[in-house]
Structure 1
Amino acid sequence: MVDGRRITRRRFLQDSARAASALALTAWGLEGARGTASAQELSFPVERGASLRVLRWSQFVTTDRPIFEQNAARFTQRTGVPVRVEYETWTDVQPKAAAAANVGSGPDIVIGFFDEPHLWADKLVPVTDLAQYLGRKYGGWFDVCPQYGYSPQRNAWIAIPIGAPGVAINYRVSWVREAGFDPDPARFPRTTDEFLRLCRALRARGHPTGFALGKAVGDGNTWVHWCLWAFGGRVLAPDNRTLTINSPETANALEYARALYETMIPGVAGWLDPHNNRAFLAGEISLTNNGISIYFAAKNDFPEIAQDMNHAVFPVGPVGRPTELHLFSQAYIFSYTRYPNAAKEFLRWIMEDTQYARWINGMLGYVSHPLRAYTNLTVWRSDPKALPFRDAVARMLPHSYAGRPGPEAARAMAEFVVVDMFADACTGRRSVRDAIRAAEDRLRRIYRS
């Protein structure tokens, strides 16, 4: 009895769950972030004479860079702070950021991928105040966001999630129908078994598939992690210490990937992120995993392909639930900057609804939003073929699953350990057993160091 009220087991469990949730939100700096009430407006007073350098990944859709730079120019007009935006290929952002972290000089802001900021968490400006403000104002962050943006080491948010270039199955409608399957996204294969049957049927009719197995930051990592998790495999246990990659579930995932590899076009072992885009638009493959960039390019330059393609979410494997990874991107500020307030104000500016909505809508939804309020953006209602990308961040798992993002997970991702394991097994460079052992050895060195 408490205050004269009887506490039932169900009531106790409900109250305990609410308390645990509240503690987690407090630890992440997210108190009240799930509310939808308007937050008190926040701005950071910029330093006198401030200027900013921003390093970010290069565009994959042609409207990305112009709109991003227009938003930056409007920030300059509003604050008087010049902003220079520099672009690098996806694989080159992290090495450039690492060099800046080591020498203590370079861009003020970096927009990179996954848990990259955790590699140099002690060299970043905390952004908890900004993360809390955005969460409160825009309905809360999706669950994966604090896992990436918050640093237990610093007891603070060290990065602001920007979103994720979402990934879905891109396919040719007429060829899927020719293979005997319904091309409607609502009826597209929903299980890994049915998906493999489709891929085999496509290959048998002269329409191979194609999935990157080279050092592809986006397309390589996303599909192999989906496959690993779909069969119950994982790199780490929830304690974030015990390596679990060497398991029957991982072996089952690799055997499935080997069967899928037999349906692919030759050469995928060397594919980087642009290769499947080109192969799809050239009519060389019938199906791949990719963002909306293929459809975006097709609408502009290959309208017949745009009309004959569609998107579907990844099928579900034996674990019975979605196991998706998307190209999570976040922005962070190096502590060597002379203008931390200007940098935080710039990030606040680009994440506010006027600028952010303009950017996402203009890219046809190439980046899926990290804040719940942006679920209602115009792009998600204007073109049904964009809809499968809308909930990418809401559905995704962190690449460190079932462990936590952090320096070790970031290094394992940077070294393509899981991608290499799949490539070794699929191409026959190693047996399934040896591919797993090689990955386990690499992971052991990473996590012990």
Structure 2
Amino acid sequence: MTLSRRDVLMGGAGLAAGSMALPFLGGTAALGQSVPKFEPEPGASLRLLRWSPFVKGEEDAWLANTKKFTEATGIEVRIDKESWEDIRPKAAVAANVGSGPDMVWVWFDDAQQYPDKLLDVTDLAKGLSATYGGYYPGNEVYAQVNNRFVALPLATIGNAVVYRDSWVKQAGFSEFPKDTKGLLELGKALKAINHPMGFTLGHGVGDGNNYCHWILWSHGGRMVDENGKVVINSPETVAGLRYAAELYKTFIPGTESWLDVNNNRAFIAGDLSVTANGVSIYYAAANDPKLADMAADMKSTNFPIGPVGKKVELHQTTQACIFKYTKYPKAAQAYLAFMFDAPQYNAWLTGASAYCCQTLKAFSNNPVWTSKPIHAAYSVASETLQPNGYAGPLGPKSAAAMADWIVVDMVAEAATGQRTPEEAAKRAQQRAERIYR
């Protein structure tokens, strides 16, 4: 059975990667035959393992699209969920034992840890790229090994600074600071009026990694150089850690043990004035009638610029992988091709309410990005992301370094005073060298 492609709004052949911004894709008109078609295996059924949603509309849209796929093909797709922290080990186990779900959504460069266990999806990825304006570079690099795609870049979970505007003004600031020096002064002022900030310093896959990598990069530090040599123990890194220690003094207590849910809960409880999170934190307030005033007071912005002089943000990326052991590789590719087709992918972006940022440039004009002012900071996540292996190549070593929480632990140790900035940087260097040697 051949899965027929749906037509989309623009006519003509497939679009070249790197093209200019494209119209909103949501209608029907032939766009060429760039995306290959797949003949699903007879009797195919599929199982997808994904991360637990923070935005219900995102999951609802994905499930609705999956139902459309089943109705069109007769292929049943079972969808299982795991917590954010558990996806990485569950996927690694499935890859190594050779059994489990047919497909999985993984984080960052997890796919780089076991590329030989994943199905080569280069034809599908290149077809999607040609059809939908190309991938953003940061997303593309996560999904490739030796110039072949072992995953499809699915989305960027944008991470932005979220704050209570009235409290920032009460602290004496007419607007949110644009640089790290101003953020520290704001933190001191907010703590003085009993409205402290709080950024995740625990093993939060999204929030912990995003904040701690920003601390490192904004001051010019990096894990490795362009050749993969470990250089994290540097004056720039130490300067960033000293800054983190000063900023931590303005935090609410306990951030060193936070996971991805904790800062959300503290903010919604009214205990925080500023944090960094996905847009889900806004909708937790907006969807609760009792928190209407809080939602109206919330604003978002991108992380302030540090001494490095430019925006450097990690953002959380997620890729869709197909395991080589699947009995139904063509059906799995047919499913993902369907889910990336414009009507389905746009519906998913809309349902996610700015929580998921597109990886293909043609979807940047989805109306979700201009539907609410608070979405604006999240709309550029795929454009501004810097891969976690910066400044070296991605691969098993960069993936292992992130999985071992080296950057997060270093920042947390220095911020909390468990180690001096110099000691924390030295320990991070030693840990990284064991991986990169």
User: For this structure pair, what is the TM-score category when the shorter chain's length is used for normalisation?
Assistant: over 0.9
Equivalent position of 1:259 in the other structure: 246
For 1:117 and 1:97, the matched residues in 2 are separated by 9
Runs of 4+ in 1 over 2 A off after TM superposition: 30-39
- Aligned-residue offset at 1:270: 0.5
1:203 is aligned, of 176, 186, 191, to 191
- Aligned-residue offset at 1:35: 4.2
For 2:432 and 2:15, the matched residues in 1 are separated by 35
1:126 is aligned, of 120, 123, 128, to 120
Equivalent position of 1:275 in the other structure: 262
1:67 is aligned, of 57, 61, 71, to 61
Maintained 8 Å contact 2:245/2:415: yes
Equivalent position of 1:385 in the other structure: 374
1:297-316 → structure 2 map (5 Å cutoff): 297-301=284-288, 302-316=291-305
- Aligned-residue offset at 1:137: 1.0
SS of the residue 2:364 aligns to:
helix
Aligned partner letter, 1:114: F
1:3-14 → structure 2 map (5 Å cutoff): none
Maintained 8 Å contact 2:322/2:329: yes
Maintained 8 Å contact 2:58/2:353: no
- Aligned-residue offset at 1:304: 1.3
TM-score by length of 2: 0.92
For 1:90 and 1:404, the matched residues in 2 are separated by 25
For 2:346 and 2:193, the matched residues in 1 are separated by 42
Deviations 1:141-196 (A, max 9, x none): 111122111101xx41111001111000000010011011124xxxx311111111
Maintained 8 Å contact 1:31/1:132: no
1:218-233 → structure 2 map (5 Å cutoff): 218-233=206-221
Equivalent position of 2:413 in the other structure: 424
- Aligned-residue offset at 1:415: 1.1
Equivalent position of 2:232 in the other structure: 245
Maintained 8 Å contact 1:398/1:404: no
- Aligned-residue offset at 1:199: 1.3
Maintained 8 Å contact 1:212/1:219: yes
SS of the residue 1:328 aligns to:
strand
For 2:356 and 2:15, the matched residues in 1 are separated by 26
Aligned partner letter, 2:199: F
For 1:337 and 1:92, the matched residues in 2 are separated by 21
For 2:17 and 2:378, the matched residues in 1 are separated by 24
SS of the residue 1:207 aligns to:
coil
Aligned partner letter, 1:156: R
SS of the residue 2:43 aligns to:
coil
1:163-174 → structure 2 map (5 Å cutoff): 163-174=155-166
Q: Which runs of 5+ in 2 are unaligned?
A: 1-13, 23-30
Equivalent position of 1:101 in the other structure: 95
Deviations 1:46-69 (A, max 9, x none): 111111110010000121222211
CA RMSD of aligned residues (A): 1.4
- Aligned-residue offset at 1:33: 2.5
Deviations 1:251-285 (A, max 9, x none): 00000101110010001110000000000000001
| Identity score, percent | 46
Aligned partner letter, 1:118: Q
Equivalent position of 2:46 in the other structure: 52
- Aligned-residue offset at 1:31: 10
SS of the residue 2:349 aligns to:
helix
For 2:385 and 2:235, the matched residues in 1 are separated by 23
Aligned partner letter, 1:71: N
Equivalent position of 2:149 in the other structure: 157
For 1:39 and 1:128, the matched residues in 2 are separated by 18
> Is 2:74 aligned against 1:80?
yes
Maintained 8 Å contact 1:234/1:402: yes
SS of the residue 1:68 aligns to:
helix
Equivalent position of 2:422 in the other structure: 433
When structure 1 is superposed on structure 2, of 343-352 and 216-225 the one drifting more is: 343-352
Maintained 8 Å contact 1:230/1:317: yes
For 1:282 and 1:35, the matched residues in 2 are separated by 44
SS of the residue 1:55 aligns to:
strand
TM-score by length of 1: 0.90
For 1:373 and 1:195, the matched residues in 2 are separated by 35
> Is 2:172 aligned against 1:180?
yes
For 2:122 and 2:140, the matched residues in 1 are separated by 10
SS of the residue 1:411 aligns to:
helix
Aligned partner letter, 1:130: L
1:296 is aligned, of 283, 287, 290, to 283
For 2:217 and 2:297, the matched residues in 1 are separated by 31
SS of the residue 1:376 aligns to:
coil
